Amino acid sequence: MDNAAADSQGGAGIQAAQLLVDHGVGAVITYRCGENAAQVLKPADIALYKAQDGTVSDNLENYKAGKLVPLAEIHPGFHGHGGGGA
């Protein structure tokens, strides 16, 4: 799936999360998730799992085997990425 939000200057997490909702994704495997994206994913009952070191294939196998843990930490919103902050 192409992530059209990847080059967005603002709201990329929300846009990417909405894309996942629109495609009927049931779970996301990631190292971290921002609070804005989580606010889109959680009401859609999309489970968030903590990615492990290794390949995408390794993580998918671990997901299928029930070896991934739920992502517990949601990161706060805007960190000043990509913009001219103080």
pLDDT, tens digit, for every residue of 14-33?
A: 999 999 999 999 999 999 99
The answer as to whether 82 is a domain residue is: no
Using DSSP bridges, classify how beta strands 74-75 and 33-34 pair: parallel, antiparallel or unpaired.
parallel
Residue 34 within a domain: yes
Structural domains in the chain (count): 1
Give me the domain span that covers residue 60.
Answer: 28-76
* Residue 36 pLDDT: 93
In a domain, 4, yes or no: no
Give the pLDDT confidence of 26-69 residue by residue, as tens digits. 999 999 999 999 999 999 999 999 999 999 999 999 999 999 99
**68, part of any domain:** yes
Confidence of residue 83 (pLDDT cuts 50, 70, 90): very low
Quote the pTM value: 0.79
CA dihedral 42, 61, 59, 9 (to 10 degrees): -50
In a domain, 38, yes or no: yes
22 found inside a domain: no
